[in-house]
Structure 1
């Protein structure tokens, strides 16, 4: 629920903002479980007899398509370490990921295909050689933004933060 809220912080509800505000309201006087529960309540309402925290993991065409793509061509070895956050460590394990992909989709993952095919070992150098007229937009709250192009690579390969883009639009609208 928390990861999905960060990745898909859809307007007009902005669930990540709602979750963070609820956690902040719980304050440092509340232990970590109380803060987590404050976020759950903000998503599902107070005084519920059942909190379905797996709500965001129900099968959809998008989720199934993304699962297939992760297994068949875009292996992303992203895991979690022991840093100070509420999630338990979950390091990426290629053996377990391979077993999952074979079981669910009937295909073994190709962990090096995307970098071999697209030249991603030095994506900046590759893009500077072969690309032009691209705007890379990233939302810094998106957990995948760290894998994006975050700085301009040339005059025609531009990187913008969606937050700064939205701020610019707002300032332009006020100027009019």
Structure 2
């Protein structure tokens, strides 16, 4: 029962993070018509949030997952996407989870995640709540715990990796600090 409550709370937090925290500049950004301003909830097809909650509940029961005892929690594998986003220029808020991090803080590929601490000791968000981001040229980031906006071309391409599989890929054109 406790596991089910924690998993449901995590999913709700993920949806609220995208829908509430990063919604502040949404109306202003959409008025420019340069890009779609997305929240994390916009990445989920109709009914997907409920489906993810059910899958997480079943997975916790089947695996007997204990948040404090597992080295790595499994990711719920659902790759359902919003097809209309494929090829669109978008902007999204989130947090950077780099694959490689140099001393000069330069990265060229990372996961955009919906909340701080995603993928660490808890089940990673499902693939349709993670975005694999790649840049042609390495970019420099200030802090790992600072929220950012990323802008680029979104694709509904699956990307399997060691940090968490993704259902979306973004060709990065710009990264900027999140400002409310």
Structure richer in strand, relative to its length:
2
The structure that has the greater radius of gyration is 1
* TM exceeding 0.5: no
Q: What TM-score do the two structures reach when normalised by structure 1?
A: 0.28
TM-score, structure 2 as length reference? 0.28
- Larger RCO, structures 1/2 (Cα 8 Å, 6+ apart): 2
